[in-house]
Structure formats: C-alpha cells, structure tokens
C-alpha cells in the first residue's frame, strides 16, 4: 500500500501545478473572465474608458509581432 500511496501523491504533486499553469495561460479565459471580473470589482469612472483597454482585438490574436499570420 505504501508504494501505491506514494505514486498517487506524486501524481497529485505533478498534476496540480501543471494544470494551474495551463489554466492561467489561456488567453481567452483570461480576457473573458479575469478582465470582466476586474471591471465588476473596480468599474471605470467613465463609460468611454472601457474602450481603451490595452488588449488586442480578437481578429489580431493570430498575428505575430510583424503582423503576419501564424498558421
């Protein structure tokens, strides 16, 4: 039983950080959830400030730094 328990613990120790890293690096999730939550907690003072967020629009996400498609 000791070996099985250690294998289970090692699996949890390795899976949890990798899963959190993968979730945290999802750009769509970040923009959809985190930015929206930030706006709920700290709403902009003026309505026109919402349009000045420094994130790329969806149609530009597939471009590299030179403006070329990445696919």
Query: Shortest CA distance to 8 belongs to which of 28, 16, 34, 35?
Result: 16
Q: What is the dihedral of CA 11, 13, 18, 23, to 10 degrees?
A: 110
Query: Shortest CA distance to 35 belongs to which of 21, 57, 56, 53?
Result: 53
What string of pLDDT tens digits covers the 71 residues of the chain? 889 999 999 999 999 999 999 888 887 877 778 788 888 888 877 655 555 555 666 666 666 666 666 55
Q: Output phi, psi for 14, to 5 deg.
A: -85, -35
| Contact status, residue 4 vs residue 12, Cβ threshold 8 Å | no
Specify the pTM.
0.38
Q: Would you kindly state where each structural domain of the chain is located, as residue ranges?
A: 17-42
């Amino acid at each position: 039983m000791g070996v099985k328990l250690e294998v289970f613990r090692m699996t949890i120790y390795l899976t949890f950080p990798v899963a959190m890293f993968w979730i945290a690096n999802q750009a769509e999730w970040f923009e959809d959830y985190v930015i929206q939550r930030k706006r709920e907690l700290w709403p902009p003072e003026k309505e026109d400030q919402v349009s000045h967020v420094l994130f790329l629009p969806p149609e530009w996400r597939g471009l590299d730094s030179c403006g070329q498609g990445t696919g």
